[in-house]
Amino acid sequence: MAESSAKGESIQAAGPANPEPVKPARQRIDSIDLLRGIVMVIMMLDHTRDFIHSGALLFDPLDLSKTTVWLFLTRWITHFCAPVFVFLAGTGAYLRYARGSSKRELSRFLISRGVWLIILEFTVVRLGAFFNLDPRFLLFLQVIFVIGFSMIVLAGLIHVPLKVTAAFGLLMIAFHNILDKYPVQRWQGPQSPVPSWGAKLYMLLHQPGIFPIGPHFPSPLVFILYPLIPWIGVLAVGYAFGVLYQQDARLRKRWLLIIGGIVTLLFTLIRAVDKYGEPLHWSRQKNVVFTILSFINTTKYPPSLDYLLMTLGPAILALALFEISAGPQPGKSMLRNFFVTFGRVPLFFYILQWFTAHTIAILLHLAFGKPVHWLFQTPIDWFTHPPAGNGFNLIVVYVSWIAGVFLLYPLCKWFAGVKKRRRDWWLSYL
């Protein structure tokens, strides 16, 4: 490829108006599946800790006044999961377009898959998380819901110039923390007034919270853990990011390093100044290690600008690293393929890991004579009546997590093979 052409493509990678794929990319991209697989496996650690750790319902593992370094990092490393999962879902949408789908076909797919994900969140995922379908706890809005809703929004965004889609997402990510200045009154329980419909809409958009869905209590409760803003923006930017995978491999790796480095540097600078982008300020602690923990302790609900820069910057650098290290390395290929397998069936793994981690927790508690009733309750019961004597130490958490991952590997490998061999339409929804 000529040098002038490469320079032109580097400009286009920054955001062409309406990029047309260079050629259909029929094969999956291992570096993306590898990153996705790693974060999916790490995500299972977080859910295993929720079910098994003795302090899971008693205090926030990021609370520096109560946590340990090991516990803090166990929770903190899982911060990378949701941003990468959402971002790469957007990239996957662009790659679907690159493989030959028209924009009309892609829109139909995004809408139908988005609706399907929302249904899964409210049924199968909710069952796996709580083993409880009590109708008084009606809806629990987590990451699958937010991906589904964001896909429906993206179904419209793909029809505008790519620069507009990218700008929309970047502006939402960069400036949504302005909304932190305008919180609405949280619902405090049966004796407090039910929030207005406007307040409920605001919580759906930007403020986590719980509230009765009707105008009066008692009525079924809705628990919003993942507000829509800025996750819609993350998915939109991920879609625009997909254009890099239509570039020459050498050029793409250079752009991945540049973009990942800039995003990571921006996090460091904005967090150091500590004036905007994160409602939780960092401060000097009892020692250097805890001061560093304070610095990287950013807000996930909703994800602050600092949180997204802190997670997506290194993730993009990892994509560059995974491409650089993709050559024949027998010692590493088995480990690489292990994680790639999970990355090729992310939704399948996501659903199964809830049931697996939850079941392991029940078996452990039964085996050691600990209470199990709380493992069949909704979060309302968890947080209002945490059981005494539940859970185990972090070593048990890690052993249970590793066991769960290895239990799921054969199933995921089988299903990845099915998806590779067959082209049934329904496989795109799992």
- What are 274-290's pLDDT values in tens digits? 999 999 999 999 999 99
pTM above 0.85? Answer: yes
Residue at 4 is within a domain = no
Highest mean pLDDT among 7-11, 256-260, 320-324: 256-260
Confidence tier at 393 by pLDDT (50, 70, 90): very high
Confidence tier at 20 by pLDDT (50, 70, 90): low
Residue at 25 is within a domain = no
Q: Which of 280, 181, 296, 301 is nearest to 229 (CA)?
A: 301
Query: Residue 55 CB: number of other CB atoms within 10 A?
Result: 17
Q: Which of 35, 86, 39 is nearest to 235 (CA)?
A: 86
Residue at 20 is within a domain = no
Residue at 309 is within a domain = yes
Q: How many domains does the chain have?
A: 1
Higher pLDDT, residue 162 or 101: 162
* Interval 186-208 mean pLDDT: 92
Question: What is residue 2's predicted lDDT score, i.e. its pLDDT?
Answer: 41
- Residue 27: strand, helix, or coil: coil
Report the share of the chain in percent with pLDDT over 90: 76
- Residue 224: strand, helix, or coil: strand
Residue at 19 is within a domain = no
Q: What digits encode the pLDDT tens for the residues 105-126?
A: 999 999 999 999 999 999 999 9
Confidence tier at 57 by pLDDT (50, 70, 90): confident
Identify whether the C-beta of residue 236 lies closer than 8 Å to the C-beta of residue 90.
yes
Question: What is residue 8's predicted lDDT score, i.e. its pLDDT?
Answer: 43
Token pair belonging to 184: 């609405």
Query: Cα–Cα distances in Å, from 54 out to 39, 64, 230, 389, 396?
Result: 24, 17, 32, 7, 10
Residue at 14 is within a domain = no
Residue at 15 is within a domain = no
Confidence tier at 192 by pLDDT (50, 70, 90): confident
- CA dist 194 and 73 (Å) reads 37
Identify whether the C-beta of residue 42 lies closer than 8 Å to the C-beta of residue 398.
no
The residue segments making up the domain with residue 420 are 31-429
For the CA atoms of 203, 207, 209, 213, what is the dihedral angle to 10 degrees? 0
Identify whether the C-beta of residue 106 lies closer than 8 Å to the C-beta of residue 93.
yes
Residue at 50 is within a domain = yes
